[in-house]
Amino acid sequence: MNESTDTAIILTNGQKKALRGLGHHLEPVVYVGKEGFSSALLKSMEHALKAHELIKIKLGQNCPVERNEAGSELARLTGSVLVQLIGRMILLYRPNPDLPEGKRLSV
């Protein structure tokens, strides 16, 4: 789905810690329900990552994918990095160099 999946994003522990701090106050922008990883869900995640770089995803109670598997699989499908997985919340990061300087996260 993402054309830049061939370039792996490597974050240091310090960068992940900074992103966790930024993500703490975020509300989930995507909810994974019983449909699992549908094309509509992936499209929604793609738009959210382009606009925000750092997004929070909530796995619903009826999500068919196990939470540990869901985090790594969503990161792989979107070309992003799994920053944090707590309970049913997933925090993903993917830099967008096309965002204006003031909107980009500096990690």
Per-residue pLDDT reduced to its tens digit, 48-66: 999 999 999 999 999 999 9
Nearest partner of 45 among 56, 34, 35, judged by Cα: 56
Number of Cβ within 10 Å of residue 12's Cβ equals 9
The answer to whether the pTM exceeds 0.75 is: yes
How far apart, in whole angstroms, are the C-alpha atoms of residue 93 and residue 41? 16
Residue type, 43: K
pLDDT, tens digit, for every residue of 81-105? 999 999 999 999 999 888 878 777 8
Non-local (6+) Cβ contacts of 22 within 8 A are 54, 105
Q: Homologous superfamily of 13-93 in CATH?
A: YhbY-like (3.30.110.60)
Average pLDDT in the chain = 89
List Cβ neighbours of 23 (8 Å cut-off, separation of 6 or more): 54, 56, 83, 84, 91
C-alpha–C-alpha distance, residues 95 and 98, integer Å: 9
What pLDDT is stored for residue 4 in this prediction? 42
